Amino acid sequence: MRDSWIVKDEVRDALGAGRPVLAFESTVLTHGLPYPTSRDLALRVESVARNRGCVPATIGIVDGVIHVGMTPEEIDRLAGNNSACKASGYDIAFVVASGRSAGVTVSGTLAIAQRAGIHVFATGGIGGVHRGASETFDISHDLASIARSQVVTVCAGAKAILDLPKTVEYLETVGVCVLGYKTDTLPAFYTADSGIPLAYRVESADEVGDAFMAKRRLGFGGGLLVAAPIPAEKELPPDEINQAIEDAVELAEEQGVRGKALTPYLLAQLAEITGGRSVEANLALLENNARVGAEIAGSISRELAAEARRGELG
């Protein structure tokens, strides 16, 4: 049987030496942004991580093989593959068994990162409770995955196309601790402030690292979600983007778009309605999340090294 799991040498070496590694998902390559913008973005966020002393590990599936860390050529191949599907935590095994290529979602990336031993994952926005979920029961698998993962997830809040108040309530229900990164309210992806208050605020990566280590020592479950707002100079006017979202949702309902196809459809409609400015905002928040994620990964790496030294000293 062929190998269905490849960890890039650079990633394996960093993990073995206790150096910081930051995971990235790949649905932004296959379903989030147009090619070649998607490819260029992936390389840019990897560069952001490297510049902060962190080894990047973009996670994707190519021809039925899970890649933990991808070469620029592999990233380009996956980004340009129009037949690539989306793989979540619950269907990765089928995608691998069928030999398909896939962009890996938040839930899938968390599962793979945890198995690989990576402690921090940066993405744009997580999935959540869709508008109209009381009728459709459309709730992203991301939320349950974050709740049971030991990996810290860094995001710019949930995607603004979702029902944000219900998403926050659902996160609490399933056991996710949400930390506002230098903010008291949940970021709304394209805008910095949704107006939804958060119970906890942190001012530094070290505070997140301390929370991760405390949870680890106590043996407690439950996810840690770090919500970092889009940089103020890059956010879109709330009234404008909210109207654009309403228009996009209405179009999706008219076209009967549902399930895994819904989020990519809505993002594409927003790009068209805003004249590409939603894509520019998406790029900015992803780069910012890569910076925050790399700093958190560095903090956790230092904490784990110190813990190991204390253990050696008895």
Where are the chain's structural domains? Answer: 5-313
Instruction: Tell me the pLDDT tens digit for each residue of 288-302.
Output: 999 999 999 999 999
Is 260 annotated as catalytic?
A: no
User: First and final CA of the chain: distance in angstroms?
Assistant: 44
Residue 214 has pLDDT above 80, yes or no: yes
Is 159 annotated as catalytic?
A: yes
| Tokens of residue 18, six digits | 């206790």
C-alpha 140: how far from chain center: 13
| Tokens of residue 133, six digits | 């979920």
> Cα–Cα distance between 24 and 58 in angstroms, integer?
5
Instruction: Tell me the pLDDT tens digit for each residue of 30-86.
Output: 988 889 989 999 999 999 999 999 999 999 999 999 999 999 999 999 999 999 999
Residue 100 has pLDDT above 60, yes or no: yes
Catalytic residue among 46, 74, 86, 159: 159
pLDDT at 2: 56
Single pTM value for the model: 0.93
Locate the DSSP E strands across the chain: 5-7, 21-24, 55-62, 65-68, 85-87, 102-104, 120-122, 152-155, 176-181, 200-202, 223-227
> Cα–Cα distance between 225 and 229 in angstroms, integer?
13
Catalytic residue among 25, 235, 287, 295: 25
pLDDT at 135: 83
Question: Could you say which architecture CATH assigns to the domain 5-313?
Answer: 3-Layer(aba) Sandwich (3.40)
